[in-house]
Chain A
Amino acid sequence: MKKRFFIYALVLPAFLVSCRKDKTIFSQSPDQRINQVLTAYQDSLVNSRYGWRGFIFPKALNGGVVSFYFAFNNTNRVQMFSDFDSTSAVTKLESSYRLKALQQPVLIFDTYCYVSVLADPDGSVNGGTYGNGLGSDFQFSIDTVTADTIKLTGSQHNTRAYLVKAAKQDSIDFYSQQYSNRNFDKWPEYLTYFKRVTVGSTTYEVQVNRATRMVTITWIDGNGVTHKMVTGYYYTATGVRFTVPIVDGSQTLTGFDNVTWNALTLTSTVSVNGTVYPVNGAARPLSPDAGAPNRWWGYPQALGNAGGWASVKGFHSNGVDDAFGVQAIGNYYYLAYQPQYQLTSGVYDLLFFYLVVNNQLTINYAPAFQPPTIYSDGRTNFSILGLLGNIPSADSVAVMKSALQLGETNGYYFVQQDSTSYDMVGAKDGKTWISWFYH
C-alpha cells in the first residue's frame, strides 16, 4: 500500500505536466516564420515601384524632420537622396542595407550614408553635439507594415521614422535633381525679425528655426483668439511641406510651394493652393508674448543667479550679424545679461563682457542698467545706469554701442524659443535683435 501510494505520488505530477504540452499554436517553426517575415519585408521594400519617401525625426531636433528618398534593390543596395542639406538633396548616394532578425526584424543602413550623417557623433558633420550628433539612428526595428507605410523605430535612440511609398513624380523629381529649391533657407536674411504672409483673410506669422527644422506659425482667428502651432518642415521640389498641416477653420496650410527669393529686396513669395502671396517683413509680433519678459528676467534669479543670459554674437542689426563687433574685443568670450547682481555698492542689472585672461573667465567692466520696465503689451525697456570698471579704448566702441543699443528707448519684444533661450527684438523697427541662451 505504501509502495502504491509512492508510485501514484510520482505519477500524478506527470499528468499535471502533460496538460501543458503539445499545443501547437503555429504551424511553422520560429525560424521559418522569421524567414518569411524577413522575405516579406524585403519584398515590400524592393517592390515599391517608385521607391520610398523616408522621414526621420532625430531626437535632438525635438520634432524636426529630415526627409529622404530611398530606392532599395534586392542585392542589399539602396540609392538615396536626403534634404538634410542642399547638396545631399540633389546628389545620389548608393550604399548598402540589410534586413536582420534581432529581437525584432530590423532594417540596417549598414554602411555610411545620408541616414548615418544624422547619427554621426562628430558634431561638425550635422550640427549636433560632439559624442552624440543629433541622437539619430541608422538601425531601425520594423514596427508596422501597411500597404503604403512602414513605421520604424530606431534601435539605439528610439528615433521615429517612416517610409512612405513614393509617387512616380517623387522619383522623377529626385533623380532629375529638382530638389534644389532652398529659398526657404534664405528667410533669416529678411531685415526684420518677424515675417508674415496673408492667405485669404488670415495673417500668419511664420518663424523659422533652421537648426531644429521647425516652424512656429501664429495667427489670430475671426474671434480674436491667438493660435500658435509648431511643426517640423521638410523640403519639396519647390518649397516646404509641414509635417503637421496648419488647420485654421476651413483653411488648411500644408506648406509653401514655389518659394521665391529676391536677393535685391530680400523678400520672398510663396504660393498656397496655387495662389501666390508675398511674405512681408513686420516690425512687431502679431501677438506679443506679454509674459515672456518677466519669465526671462526672473529665470536667472530663480536659480540664484548662478548663470545669466548669454550671447556670443551680440546684436544683429539691419542684416548684419554682430553689428557692433563685440567678437573683435580683445580676449572676448561672450556677453551676458545678469539681472539683479549683488555688488558691494548695490544691486544692478549688468551687461557683463566675459573675457578669457590667463585661461580664466574674467570680467573687467560692465555697463549697469536699471531693472527693465515691462509694459502690458510685452514691450520691455532697459535704461542705462552707468558703467562699472574701465574699458580699454580699443574695445570701448563695441561695448558702448551694445550698451546704448540695449538702452534704446523703443524697447524690445521677447520671443521665447525654449525654456533656456529667448530672442529679444527691437520694437523700433524689428530689424535689430539679440539671441540669449541661459549659461
Chain B
Amino acid sequence: MNHFLTYYNETMLDTHSPADAKVIPITTCAYRRGAFEACHDKFYGPSSPAATFLTRILRRLGLLKKHRGKLPFLLLLCSMVSCKKGDNLGDLNNIPGLGGDSSATTAIDQWIDDTLTVPYNVTAKYRWDQNELDLNKDLTPPMESKLIPVLSAVKKVWIDTYVAEAGSNFMKTLIPKFFILVGSASWNTDGTITLGSAEGGHQIILYVLNNFYTKDMPGYVPADSTNIIQMFHTIEHEFGHILHQTVLYPTDYKTITVGLYTANWNNVSDAQAHQDGFVTAYARSAPDEDFVEMIATMLTLGKDGFDKLVNSISPGASVDGISQAQAISNLRQKQQIVVDYFKNTWSIDFYSLQTRVRSAMVSLIQ
C-alpha cells in the first residue's frame, strides 16, 4: 500500500505539475495500452484526497492488468474519473468578492474600526450592498458626512449608557455585531415608514441617516430632535428585542392589554393608543413589540417624559371602552414589569439607565 502511494507521489510531483497537465479524452485512452498513465493526467495535485484514493485503486488494479477480463471494469473506473472533469479551478485565492467587498480605507473606516470594532467587535456597513436590504424597496445609501455623527451618537447614547450600568461584558455579549446604515427611510406600501429592523440579535438596520442632525451640526432645527428621538427609539427598540429573545419577559405582561393587539395598528394614532394603555400605536401590533416599545419610549423620553405621556391620557372611555384609570393602570403595570425584568434578569437599575440615556440624548438636542 505504502509502496504504491510513494510511487504515485513521486510521479505526480516530478512529471505532472498542474499547470501543464494535459486533457486526454477517455475514448482515446480507453483503447490504448497504459490507459492508467493517461488517466493520471486528470489529477491535478497530490493533495486531493479523492485523487489519492482513486490512484491507489488504479495502481492496485494495475498489478492485475494481465487479467484482460478486467479491462471493461478498468474502463468503467476511468469513466468515473472522467466525470470529475478537468476544469482548472484557477487561482482560488483571487475570487472576486470572496470575503466581502473591498474599498480603499477611508478616515471613516478607520474611525469605525477604532471606535466600534476594536472595543466591541461591532462593524458598520454603510457602503451600498443591496443584498443586505429589501430588494423591493427604493432605498439610498447614507451620506458620508452623517456617518461619524450618527455612530458617535449611537455610542454615547446607547453603548456607553448600558456599559455604565451593566458593565462592558454585558454589552460585548449582547450587542448586535453588525450595523447596516441606510440613508433614506424604508417606505411601506401602507404609507408607513420603517426606521429600523433587527435580525436574530446579530444585526440592526438603521434607516433615515440622511435626516440626522444634532444641535452641533449646521442646519439643525429644533424639529430635528424628533429624528434623533426616533432613531434612538429604534435602537433601544431593537436592542430590547435582543434582550427578550435572550431571556423572555414574564408572560403576565401579555395579559395586561390582552385582546387589544391588532394588525391595523397603523390606523390608530399614538394618542388613541395611549387611551387603551399602549405606549405607542406600534405597541398594539403584538406583545413583543409592546414590551420593547415600552423600553424604548421610557428610555428615550426619560422619566419625566414618560410620566407626562401617562398623565396626558384624557378622561372618558376610549373607542375600545377602556377607561382613563384602566389605561393609566395598564401602562403603570407594564412599566413595573419592564423595571423588574431589567433588575431580575440583567441586574440593571432601569431608572438609573433611563436617566443616563435621557441626559445623553438631551446633550445632542438641547
A112→B144 contact, CB < 8 A: yes
Shortest C-beta distance, A148 to chain B (Å), equals: 26
A135 at interface, CB cutoff 8 A: yes
Contacts of B221 in A (CB 8 A): none
Contacts of B185 in A (CB 8 A): 121-122
A140 to B83, CA, bound (A): 38
Interface residues of A in 250-298 (CB under 8 A from B): none
Q: A29-B89, A95-B144, A156-B138 known; A14 and B94 CB under 8 Å? A: no
Interface residues of A in 332-354 (CB under 8 A from B): none
From A10, A18, A138, B140 is in contact (CB under 8 Å) with: A138
Shortest C-beta distance, B68 to chain A (Å), equals: 12
Stretch of A30-38, A160-168, A371-379, A419-427 contacting B (4+ beta carbons < 8 Å): A30-38
Q: A96-B144, A110-B128 known; A17 and B138 CB under 8 Å? A: no
A316 at interface, CB cutoff 8 A: no
A47 at interface, CB cutoff 8 A: no
Interface residues of B in 92-118 (CB under 8 A from A): 92, 94-97, 101, 103-104, 106
Q: A17-B79, A31-B96, A76-B104 known; A111 and B128 CB under 8 Å? A: yes
B86 at interface, CB cutoff 8 A: yes
Total chain B interface residues with beta-carbon distance under 8 A: 52
Q: A29-B89, A101-B96, A111-B126 known; A119 and B140 CB under 8 Å? A: yes
Contacts of B126 in A (CB 8 A): 111
Contacts of A108 in B (CB 8 A): 127-128
A111 to B186, CA, bound (A): 16
Contacts of B72 in A (CB 8 A): 4, 7-8, 10-11
A112→B143 contact, CB < 8 A: yes
Greatest chain A CB density within 10 A among B78, B79, B83, B106 is at: B79
Q: A31-B91, A121-B137, A121-B187 known; A10 and B96 CB under 8 Å? A: no
Q: List 14 A-B contacts (CB under 8 A).
A: A14-B78, A14-B82, A15-B27, A17-B79, A18-B79, A19-B27, A31-B90, A32-B94, A34-B96, A112-B143, A116-B140, A121-B186, A155-B130, A156-B135
Beyond A17-B82, A76-B103, A138-B128, 12 extra complex contacts between A and B, CB < 8 Å? A10-B76, A13-B79, A15-B26, A15-B79, A21-B85, A29-B90, A32-B91, A34-B96, A95-B144, A100-B96, A121-B184, A121-B186
A residues in contact (CB < 8 Å) with B: 4, 7-8, 10-11, 13-15, 17-19, 21-22, 24, 28-32, 34-35, 38, 75-77, 95-96, 98, 100-101, 108-112, 116, 119-122, 130-133, 135, 138-139, 155-156
The 8 closest A-B pairs by CB, nearest first: A29-B90, A14-B79, A131-B187, A75-B104, A110-B128, A18-B26, A110-B127, A112-B143
